[in-house]
């Protein structure tokens, strides 16, 4: 025994994947759920509300007549002609 102890601690050899999963999976699930919730309440709900409000008092005939007067249709010309 002519050498002195100059070694490092033995590194962790097992359970590396399990440790990584235990750490990262809850975070991944939490972030995904947060992203989904943010999209739902930031985008889809306002959009659904916008459509509901638009069609609540929508008069199709009035809109059609306005468009007709603007002259964009080819089948019906404005009432003046």
Partner 1 sequence: MYFRFITSLMLLLFAASAKRVEDFFLYIFFSFRMLATRALSLVSKRVISTSICVRGGHGVAKVDDYALPSYFDRRENPLPDVRFVTDLSPVQKSLKEKEKGSWATLSNDEKIALYRISFKKSFAEMNKGSNEWKSVVAGMLFFIGVTGLVVLWQRKFVYGPVPPTFETEWKEKELQRMLDMRINPVEGISAKWDYENKEWKK
Which chain residues interact with partner 1 by CB under 8 A?
Answer: 1-4, 6, 47, 50-51, 54, 63, 66-67, 70-72
- The Cβ of residue 67 has, within 10 Å, a number of other Cβ atoms equal to 13
Closest CB to partner 1 among residues 6, 13: 6
With H, G, I as helix, E, B as strand and everything else as coil, classify residue 76. Answer: coil
69 close to 78: Cβ distance less than 8 angstroms: yes
Residue 15 or residue 55: which is nearer to partner 1 going by CB?
55
**Distance (Å, whole) CA 55 – CA 60:** 10
In angstroms, what is the minimal distance from the CB of 30 to partner 1?
26
For partner 1, the closer of residues 24 and 47 by Cβ is: 47
């Amino acid at each position: 025994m002519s050498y002195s102890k100059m070694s490092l601690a033995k590194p962790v050899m097992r359970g590396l994947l399990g440790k990584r999963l235990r750490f990262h999976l809850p975070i991944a699930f939490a972030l995904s759920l947060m992203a989904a919730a943010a999209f739902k309440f930031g985008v889809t709900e306002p959009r659904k509300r916008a459509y509901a409000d638009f069609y609540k008092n929508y008069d199709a005939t009035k809109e059609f007549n306005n468009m007709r007067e603007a002259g964009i249709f080819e089948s019906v010309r404005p009432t003046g002609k």
